Amino acid sequence: METRQALELAREKELDLVLVGPTASPPVAKLLDYGKWRYEQQQAEKEARKKAKRQEMKSIKFRVKIDEHDYQTKLGHVRRFLEAGHKVKVTIMFRGREMAHPELGKKILDRVAEDLAEIAVVEMKPLMAGRDMNMVLAPIPPEKRVKKPEKAEDAPEPKKAEAAPEAETGEAAEA
């Protein structure tokens, strides 16, 4: 169809003639209500933005001389952030003479990465930046997570009760 005929047809139907494929031979055009089409496009973009999940970078700070309970508490916070779908920047802060032993900070970061291996992947390996050592963890999507099987051989054997030797001698039976 020629351009003039297409424009006349568009005027008769009170629609717009929109060029869809300008590089095609011959060029492809479409009759549509451009204002309505543009509005629908904007609504679709707005809906897509609503559904898109924003991923924040959360941050948690550890010290080189962290106690076990404090470590477990902070590890729980990191786990919660990762399960919510956020990336986590784990920072080890060094003060004074602690700067002479960056391997201690790396050891803590490696332990964090190992403890969270089933739900997170190390996105940025431990790196010194001034007086801090940083590592970034990214969450593994729940459908791709693999649970580590529990090893029975690693578990300590339960200790036998102290009363067991008395039962063998017969003293406990008489009393």
Q: What is the pLDDT of residues 56-86, one digit of tens each?
A: 889 999 999 989 999 999 999 999 998 888 9
pLDDT in the model for residue 140:
86
Four-point Cα dihedral 107, 113, 116, 120, nearest 10: 170
pLDDT under 70: residue ranges of the chain = 147-175
d(CA 89, CA 133): 10
Q: Mind listing the domains of the chain with CATH numbers?
A: 3-51 (3.10.20.80), 57-144 (3.30.110.10)
Side chain identity at 90, as an amino acid letter? V
Enter the pTM of the model.
0.55
pLDDT in the model for residue 160:
56
Q: Residues 149-168, buried b or exposed e (16+ Cβ, 10 A)? A: eeeeeeeeeeeeeeeeeeee
Average pLDDT over all residues of the chain: 82
Scanning the chain, the segments in alpha helix (DSSP H) are 3-12, 34-51, 68-83, 102-115, 164-169, 171-174
